[in-house]
Amino acid sequence: MQKRDFIQQAVLTFLPQTRHAETGKCDVDLAIAMSEKLWDKLTSRGYGESKPSGQREILKAYDQLAKTPTMKAAFDLFWAAFDYKQGRDRAAARWLQMGFIEKAEVDQIIQAAKREAAARKNLPEGRVAKMAEGWLTERRWLDSVATSTDTAAKQQNQREQQLRQINQDLAHAKRMADDTGDDYWHNEAHKLTEQLRTLRND
């Protein structure tokens, strides 16, 4: 954690302890002093300021994309599809860090970005839209991707449910036809038998 972030968080922790009993006001300066003292104590014990982690910053990233026209064209398509016009240079930096992306994955990213843009219009009150940089960093396009195995399993499951339902309806129709002798139930049993045959042959 960087010192600035640490101090900010520590101040929030210490503020309630600095509240004056008479005025009810908190002493911000005292909270800052307490936070800095804690930082210094931790540093003296070897905790220190951690080295910056995460992605390195790429200056003028969007301009650098122009050096690779294919990469820039793909990013521009993504940017248009994502449709949230904030932080383009940071998003471009993330795109550069992703390196070469196969066309199939670019298409996948763009389709998912369009879905994200559509979903953003219905964000609940108080929810903040995710910016493109964070969306790319978290590889959010993978959230909505169903593998071919998943799709096949889902279709098989639906087919089995449909077969079970038709079998139940058919058993009921046959029972009613036997009990009542009514043509309606005989016709229903015949229709359901045909449905079952068709479904099994598919």
Q: What pLDDT tens digit does each residue of the chain (202 aa) get?
A: 678 778 888 878 888 888 888 888 888 889 899 988 888 888 877 776 555 444 455 678 888 888 888 999 999 999 999 998 889 999 999 998 888 888 899 999 999 999 999 988 887 777 778 899 999 998 888 886 655 456 677 778 788 888 888 888 889 889 888 888 889 888 999 999 998 888 877 6
pTM score, two decimals?
A: 0.46
Sign of the C-alpha dihedral computed for residues 126, 17, 29 and 39 taken in this order = negative
Amino acid of residue 71: M
Residues contacting 123, CB < 8 A, separation 6+: 129
